Every structure is written in structure tokens, then in C-alpha cells.
A and B are shown apart, each in its own frame.
Chain A
Amino acid sequence: MKLKNLPTLLIIAACIAGCSSSNEPVREKLDPLTAVTITSSASPLIFYRDNSAHAAHARDFVYVGPVRVNNMGGYRYFLWFGVWSAIPDTPPSSQRDGFETVTIFADGEPLQLSLAGWGPTSIGASEAVYLKPVASAADAYYEVTVDQIRFIAESRDLRLLSSGPAQSSYELWDNQQAAFASLREFLDAASY
């Protein structure tokens, strides 16, 4: 391919996509079945891991987004994980390996997260909170406090460590100003 103007077209396409839809940094919706109110940020944080042993520049990804569940005035907070791989023949079942317990290192401080469940019912919702990046992505929810989310939002260095023999360290993707801005807006909406 020799299309030199592709970078420009890419940026224009993204801007058009952005201008043509709702761009609220924080989203709130009422679950149609459970009647809880779900608050989430628009842009999740992206973590990645190079899997060069499998293929050159092949990567595994984890999307992380905050969730607040309001059940008649009772608030609970979670982190949603969307685990997926850009490697085409990765078995979907193996994507969940190591995510029963994960640790987020926020400025070196370990925040160990325990799994609440693998689907929206584990947080009291009937439908997914965040959009799946790929159809085979695994969803996981971890219960946290709002202060832990705040700590993550205020950290400069973030990384994620899964558990197990194939424990993997996921680094924060560069330049996620939109995701951090969305996270701060989420905290403002949830703040007191």
C-alpha cells in the first residue's frame, strides 16, 4: 500500500465519528430489568501486553472502566475489565486465566482486586455496562471503593498484574488523556 494520506484520513474519520454522536464523558442509564442506575465513564483505560513469543507485535489487551451501581440510594462501585487478544487464534476460555485475582499497581501501590463475577448480573444489572471491543472479549467485574478509583485516577504510573503461572504484566497504553478525563468526570459525578 502506498497511500500517504492515510494518517490524515484516519484522523478525519475519527473526528467525524466523534462529532456525530453523544460525547458525554460520563454515562448514566437505568437498567430496564433491575431498575438500578448504572453510571460509567465513556472511555475506559487501556492496558496492553506484548505477546511477541506468539507473533511479532501481537498484543493482548485489557480495558478497565469504573462502574457505579445505585440501588435505591445504596451505592456500590466496581471496575469492569474487558479482556481480549488481537491474536486471532486465542481460545476465548484461556482469556480468563489469571483474572480471578488481579492486582493494579497504582504508583507502585498494589490494589488487589477480587472478582465479583463474570457478567452484569454480578453487579445487579441485566445488561453489559461497557461496549465489548471484540465479540469474544471476556467481561469481569471487581468490587472496589470510590477511593480506590480515585487513587487510580490520580496515579501517574499504572499497570496490571494477572495471577497464575502465566501471570502477565499489562502496561498502560500511552496517551490516554480522554480516558483519564472521563475517569475524573466519573469521580466528580460520584463525589460527595
Chain B
Amino acid sequence: MIRMFRLLVVISIILASCPVMAASGFVAGTKVSRVGDLAVITVSFNCDVQYLGHDPGTGGDQLRIQIEPTSICTGVAPLAALTQERFRPASADLANLVDVEYDGESSLGTFLRLNFSSAVGFSVEPFASARHVIITVRMGTNPAIAPATDSRPVSTQVRRAAAPTPRYVINLQSSERPPAMADFSKLDLGPGQELMVSEVVIDGKAWHRLRVGYFDSSDAAARALTELRLEFPTAWIDRESANAELENTSTEIVVPPAANSTPTDLAGTSADEAKLAELMAEAKRLMTTGELSRAVQIYTKVLQQPENQYQPQAQEYLALARERNGQMAHAKAEYQRYLATYPDHEGADRVKQRLAALVTQPGRRAAEAAVAASSSPGTVRRRPETWNLRSYISQYYRRDANQLNDNDQVVSQSALYSDINLDARRRGERFDFSARLTAGYRKDFLGQPNGDQARVSYAFADLADSKLGLRGRLGRQSRNTGGVLGRFDGLNLSYQATDLIRVDTVVGKPVNSTTDGIDGSRSFYGISTNFGPIIDNLDVGVFFLQQNVDDLTDRQVVGAEARYFGDGKSLWGQIDYDTSFDEISSLFLQGSVRLPWEFTMTALFDKRRSPLLSMSNALIGQPVFEFDELAILYTEDEIRELALDRASQTTTATFGLSRPLTPKLQINFNTTLATIDATPESGGVFATPESKYTYISTDFVGSSLIKEGDVSLLGLRYSDSQNTEVLSINLDTRFPIGRYFRFNPRFRVDHRQIKSDQSTQWIYTPGIRLQYRKDRRFRIELEAGMQFSSRDSVILTEDRESYFINLGYQFLY
């Protein structure tokens, strides 16, 4: 009887209401009315639709109705169904309604979503074909009773352009075999979510990803992830747009939610007890074999059952599995839950000790976890015995040509640069092995002597032991601290003694150029200790390094580095002191501070010997090439003096100011003073005079002035050196074109005064850069430019034209 009464109310409201305004989209209008605790939402369409279903069945804070549009329309074309709309009816509050979404662009079907501000009960009247969907909403006790007849005007629909918004999915797990759906049929999905199996090919191998989606915001996905990670500890969030780029091929199969999904009660019968025992045995086996994620799932399942004898042990081992899996925060929480639930159980003391160990050594544990754990968003979770191979290649053709006055054009460079990088990795529970090769080849097409060159930048193998906190790297590598001057061939050992202290030892041979082989005469060894973070944002390091050339000390340095980032200020300093020369070899200081009125002040001070102090400098300008030959000509003290004479003192000081004028426009000012001290004449090498350089520049930088992602720079620059005085103006602008292209035209004008002959020179330099990026793996780039210059002096006029082109690609595999 009550049901009939409600139906009559609904029909009368519909008949008495004002006519719905026809709109140009698919949804014609929405009307909301309420009587007591009962509200009725009527969504009207401009085309006939068929009702296919809705979920959840009886209530929630979101209702999703699947419909099938037909081509029977009034006032709009049937294609209007292929749109997205979102709107809020004027009387939405009567039904606790936030907004209504229509999605006709989903590949999974056409949906109407009603989002409520709180959980309500609802029912949808099924219909075969109609222009309306009627949803009856039941709310709780609500003192605000709406009038029986709604006299407010019909809702006005605000149509917004269907701007693409990112959607999010949660990747639950990945496997090489298709997942067994029976295992997940009882997964508790939120309203509007589906379980999907996505197939993707990575490195030629097919992987099956079990996923839940879609979420309209990362925040919504994050809330769901918290719950899902109880059962799927390695679950992670992916964006639908990023996901599309990452996948080679992907097909998604929607898994319909299982009906009557209620948890299976395992406890209570002897057969159920046997089942629990079987699960615990299986989990124990998985802990032994290292399949920790699966063990976590099983222990969690046992804990979800009604109270049983296995739960204390399951709780303890769940925490242990989390700990071994590197999930320290989860492990702590699970140990604490054990102590709160089973304070007098026989395992309580054991758990207290484990928890105490976790709490007192967070850094060490974090370091171990950082070595052991992984959650790659781009690949599946790594397992023991699995190699991960990555590579990229690039090739660029470069051509330079110039012409002086009316002479023939001269091609100064025509070469193909090929580079390859290979990364191999194999990660286990304790050991992590990696190897890297970065090499290149320059093919010269002009037939110049030594034009073809091979180069090896990196070629090393790396092994880390997460249990001991030890790591070693052998081969061609680079370091920038500890007294090591960049690239070297050798061995580097690191040991994380505590969470604050790390010790490194290094032994090897320096590499001056990537085209060089292994150095035959020089070798070094050193040790460094690093402390940090101190007071959260300070790193400090000290080192000692000894480098020998033949039997002599080439370098012997001690030094320090400190790096601090505070609130509105930063300071970074490095110093190398050579004890064999009793001289500071290099000193580097860089700092920034935020000032009032939105100014940022920066400063950089660099004082170094150039080249850096070493006995090998004595070879500069000498008629010999090997150090042992030099030792025949001079004594050790004389060689040391020659080496000091050849390393001039270079001092650079830069001061800068930066300030935003508007959120999109800023002004930067920089001034640099650089001095290269004179070197004396010695050992038959001529003296060099002192040189001074001054650079002053101002730049205006505008970002997103015309469209999002663009940037424009207008620069003015003045430089003064021993030989020239130059005034430059530079315009550089770059912006995206569509989704795949980026374009960067630029133009510079220089006015140069040459002091030696009082001549002046004008230089015009136009150029462009263009990038095409189809997907994340492949891109093509073009850079081209020209230069026109005209130099006038008393005795000559010189016109010069030159151009260059750089064209190539980069491919990630």
C-alpha cells in the first residue's frame, strides 16, 4: 500500500512539473523533488535509452547506472550520446545530491553517475526504453521536510566542455599467468569500481595486471589503496593517461563483481580448522621461499576469519613478512597490533624485541629496505632469478659549414654520433646486482685524421648486500667527492655503518677522456666518511686521497664538503687541500637566500688551480710525453715547482638577484668577475699574462604567457675581456604545438669590439629547435642555425656566413 502511494506521488509530481527545457546535449534536464524522507530524481534525455543495470544495488554515496542510447532522438543528433557532461541540478540538496555525470565516451559503456554527499538508499526503476531515468532516494530521519510540490524552476543545466581529466587505476598485482578470478570474486569493491585484467607486453613478455578502477582523483584512489594494500601489499596507483603511454599493447577485460560477495567463514567446523591449518602451512612455506607478498595475503585472510587459534601466530608472522618485505611502517603497525591484541601471549616478548629493534634503527632499516624493496610503476614487481634489461640508443648527424667573404664554403664537420646505453639488473632478497655500459662512436665523413672515435663513458658492475649494508662497484665509473676528480677505472666500496654514517673507500686510475684507455702511470687510493642528515638538512663529508704517478706523489689531498638547505636559504661548500704542494687546490662556495620583497640573492665563489694541482702538470709544454722521461730531466722538487707554475690560479665570483614581477614574469640579474692569474716562465715554457673577464646580464623570463607550457626569454648581456668587448641581445621562445611537437625559435645579435685592431663586428644568429615525440619511447629532434657576421676594420672588411644542422633520434627500449 505504501509502495503504491509512493508511486502515485512520483507520477503526480512528474505530471505537474514544468516542462523540461530541451538542451543541445544528450541530457535534457534533471529534476529533483522530495516528500518526507523520500526524494525522486528524474534525469531526462534527448534520446531514447535502454536501461542495462545499476550498481551498487541498494545504497551508497555513488550510484552508477548503465544505459544504452538509441538513435531515436528529438532536437539533437544521435552522436550527442558520445559526449561527457557534468552538472548539478538546482534542487540537488533535496536528495543530498552533489552532481550528476553523464559519460558517453567510456570504452566500457555509457554511464550515468549520481554522486551524493552522504550514503543514501536508492532504487532505480528499470525500463526497456524511455527518455527518463527515475531514481528514488531514501534518506535517514531528516527534520527538513520538503513541500509536496516543488515550485522551484526546473534545473538549468550548465554544460561544460568535456575537458579530459585524468583517471586513476590501482594495480593490485602482476603475473605472467592470467589471475584466477575465483581468488578475487569476493574482493570488496567500492561503488562505481570494477575489477579488470589488463594484458601488456613488456620486453617481449606478456604480463597480466589485475587492476581496480576507475577513480576520478588521486585522492579517491589513495583512500582505496589504503584498504586494498591489506590484501595486496604491492598495489600501486597509475594514471590512465600515463598508463596509455607506458603500455605497448593492452586489452582490458572487465570482471563483473561477484554477486553475494560475502566473506567465507572458515572457522567453526573441523573441516574449516583443517583449512586454516593448511593456509598457515602454505604461508610458512612462502615465507621460507621468499614469496612474502603472497604470505602477507594468506596471513591477512586468516586474520579476517572469526576468532581462531591461528590468529596470534598469523598476526606475528604478518608483521614479520612486512618487515622482511621492507615495509617498515606497516611492520611496526602490525607488531603494535599484536601487542595490543595479545599482550599475554607467548610471543609477546619476542614481538617487543622486534619492535624495539625497528624503532631504534630506522635509518639502517630504511637503507636495507631501500635496497631490498621495489615498487616500479613501469614494470611488474621483481622476483628473484629475474633479469631486468633496459637500453637506449641515439644517433645524431651534425654538419657545420662556413664561408668567408666570397671564398668557397668549407664544411668543418660532417659526422654521425651514435650512443648506446645498456642497463642490466637482477634483484634478490639480499643481493642486488647491476651492470651498466655507456659508449659511443663518432663516424667522421670528412676523412679527417683521428676523425673516427670510440668512447666509453661507463662500464661497470655493481653488487649490493642489503644485509650487511655493503656495496661495491668495479669498472669505469665516476665520483665527484672524496677527492676523486670525476671519471676513473677502479673499485669503489661503500659501507653504511649507521643510519648517519657512511664510509667509502676507492682505488683506481684516473680517466682524462672517454676516448682514453686505462691510464698506465697514475693510480690513487682514498677514504671518505660522510655524516648526514645532521639536524635534518645538513650533509657533511671529509676525505683523504693519495694519487701517485710512477713512484712519485702526484696528489695528496684532504678535504671536506658541507651542504645545507634551510628555510629560505642554502649553502654548499667544497674544499680540496693538497698537502704535498701545501696549497688549496680548489674551493667552491655557493649560496642562496630569500630576501624581503620577493628578492632572491645568490652567490657563487670558485677559486681553483687550473689544471688542478698534480705533478703531472709539469708535462705541459715539455718535449716529453711520459712522466718517467721528465724525471730524467728534473729532480722531484723541480718537477713540483714546474707543476705549480703550470697551474694558474683561477678565481670566479658571481652575484645574482632574481625577482618575480608577476606570477608569470620574472627578472634575473647576474654579474660575474673572473680572473686567471699569470704564470711564470719556467722549464722552457713561456709565461702567460693575467686575464680578467667581466660578464653582466639581465634576463626577462615569461612562462605560460600565451599558452600553458611556453616560455620566452629576453636577455641583455655585456662582457669585457682582454681582447673583446661584446654587447648582446637575445630572444628565445619555446612552446608546445599540439600534443607531439615542441618548437623553439631563437635569435641573437652581438656587437663586438675587438681591442687589438679597434675593429667592430656585428653577428646575427638565428636558430630553431624542433622536437617530435610520438610516445615515451621514441623522439626525433632537429636543431639548426645560421650565423652572419660582418667585421669592419681600418685594413679589411670580413663577411662570414656559417650554418649548422643537428638531426637525430632517441629510442628507449
Q: Which A residues form the contact surface with B (CB < 8 A)? A: 1-4, 6-8, 10-11, 13-15, 17-19, 21-25, 27, 33, 42-44, 46, 48, 50, 52, 55-57, 59, 73-77, 86, 88-89, 91-93, 96-97, 100-101, 103, 105, 107-112, 115-122, 125-128, 131-136, 139, 145-148, 150-151, 153-157, 161, 163-167, 169, 171, 173-182, 184, 188, 192
Residue of B nearest to A21 (CB): B566
Q: Does B218 contact A (CB under 8 A)?
A: yes
A145 to B201, CA, bound (A): 22
Instruction: Say which one of B68-76, B104-112, B596-604 lies at the interface with A.
Output: B596-604
How many whole Å from B502's CB to the nearest CB in chain A? 7
Contacting pair B715 A92 (CB below 8 A): yes
Contacting pair A177 B532 (CB below 8 A): yes
Contacting pair A134 B610 (CB below 8 A): no
A184 to B375, CA, bound (A): 14
A153 to B326, CA, bound (A): 13
Given contacts A74-B219, A134-B656, A147-B237, A18 and B602 within 8 Å (CB-CB):
no
Knowing that A89-B693, A91-B717 are A-B contacts, what are 11 other residue pairs whose CB atoms are under 8 Å apart, sorted by A's residue number? A17-B569, A25-B533, A42-B565, A86-B604, A110-B776, A115-B709, A125-B663, A131-B565, A135-B601, A136-B670, A156-B471
Residue of B nearest to A55 (CB): B610
How many whole Å from B763's CB to the nearest CB in chain A? 14
A156 to B536, CA, bound (A): 20
A59 to B485, CA, bound (A): 12
Residue of B nearest to A82 (CB): B592
Chain A residues near B502: list those with CB within 8 A.
175, 177
Q: Can you list 9 A-B contacts with CB-CB less than 8 angstroms, sorted by A residue number?
A: A50-B487, A101-B773, A117-B703, A118-B704, A127-B598, A151-B375, A163-B781, A175-B541, A178-B538
Residue of B nearest to A106 (CB): B376
Chain B residues near A117: list those with CB within 8 A.
703-704, 708-709, 711
A161 to B325, CA, bound (A): 31
A85 to B781, CA, bound (A): 23
Chain B residues near A192: list those with CB within 8 A.
222-223, 225-226
Chain A residues near B300: list those with CB within 8 A.
none
Contacting pair A13 B587 (CB below 8 A): no
Contacting pair B570 A133 (CB below 8 A): yes
Instruction: Say which one of B28-36, B120-128, B146-154, B392-400 lies at the interface with A.
Output: B392-400
Q: Does B253 contact A (CB under 8 A)?
A: no
Given contacts A50-B486, A134-B654, A147-B238, A127 and B663 within 8 Å (CB-CB):
yes
Contacting pair B377 A88 (CB below 8 A): no
C-beta contact mask, B724-763 vs A, less than 8 Å → 1, else 0? 0000001010100000001010100000000000000000
Chain A residues near B424: list those with CB within 8 A.
108
A127 to B245, CA, bound (A): 31
How many whole Å from A174's CB to the nearest CB in chain B? 4
Given contacts A3-B584, A17-B564, A93-B715, A107 and B238 within 8 Å (CB-CB):
no
A55 to B486, CA, bound (A): 13
Chain A residues near B769: list those with CB within 8 A.
97, 164
A44 to B566, CA, bound (A): 11
How many whole Å from A27's CB to the nearest CB in chain B? 7
How many whole Å from B529's CB to the nearest CB in chain A? 10
Contacting pair A135 B600 (CB below 8 A): yes
Which of B537, B713, B776 touches A112 (beta carbons < 8 Å)? B776
> Which 3 A/B pairs are nearest by Cβ-Cβ distance?
A135-B656, A119-B703, A108-B423
Instruction: Say which one of B94-102, B254-262, B575-583, B627-635 lies at the interface with A.
Output: B575-583
Given contacts A86-B604, A157-B434, A178-B532, A1 and B583 within 8 Å (CB-CB):
yes
C-beta contact mask, B408-431 vs A, less than 8 Å → 1, else 0? 000000000001010111000000
Contacting pair B783 A164 (CB below 8 A): yes
Chain B residues near A76: list those with CB within 8 A.
218
Q: Does B457 contact A (CB under 8 A)?
A: yes
Chain B residues near A50: list those with CB within 8 A.
478, 480, 486-487
Tell me the chain B residues, 35-87 only, with Cβ under 8 Å from chain A. none
Contacting pair B423 A178 (CB below 8 A): no
Which of A44, A59, A133, A156 touches B464 (beta carbons < 8 Å)? A156
Chain B residues near A17: list those with CB within 8 A.
564, 566, 569, 571
Chain A residues near B693: list those with CB within 8 A.
88-89
Residue of A nearest to B219 (CB): A75
A88 to B225, CA, bound (A): 48
Q: Does B388 contact A (CB under 8 A)?
A: yes
How many whole Å from A14's CB to the nearest CB in chain B? 4
Which of B567, B668, B708 touches A42 (beta carbons < 8 Å)? B567
Chain B residues near A182: list those with CB within 8 A.
533, 536-537, 565
Contacting pair B709 A18 (CB below 8 A): no
How many whole Å from B404's CB to the nearest CB in chain A? 25
Tell me the chain B residues, 683-716 only, with Cβ under 8 Å from chain A. 693, 695, 697, 699, 701, 703-704, 708-711, 713, 715
Q: Does B548 contact A (CB under 8 A)?
A: no
Residue of A nearest to B542 (CB): A7
A89 to B561, CA, bound (A): 25
Contacting pair B590 A133 (CB below 8 A): yes
Given contacts A11-B562, A178-B565, A119 and B663 within 8 Å (CB-CB):
yes
Given contacts A6-B587, A107-B434, A131-B594, A92 and B536 within 8 Å (CB-CB):
no
Given contacts A13-B571, A133-B602, A18 and B708 within 8 Å (CB-CB):
no
A173 to B588, CA, bound (A): 15
Chain B residues near A127: list those with CB within 8 A.
598, 660, 663
Instruction: Say which one of B205-213, B282-290, B366-374 lies at the interface with A.
Output: B366-374
A23 to B537, CA, bound (A): 6
A108 to B424, CA, bound (A): 7
Contacting pair B730 A164 (CB below 8 A): no
Contacting pair B606 A86 (CB below 8 A): yes
Which of B217, B471, B486 touches A74 (beta carbons < 8 Å)? B217
Chain B residues near A14: list those with CB within 8 A.
538, 540, 562-564, 571, 573
Chain A residues near B771: list those with CB within 8 A.
100-101, 163-164
Contacting pair A165 B734 (CB below 8 A): no
Contacting pair B715 A91 (CB below 8 A): yes
Given contacts A131-B570, A157-B434, A43 and B812 within 8 Å (CB-CB):
no
Chain A residues near B810: list those with CB within 8 A.
163, 167
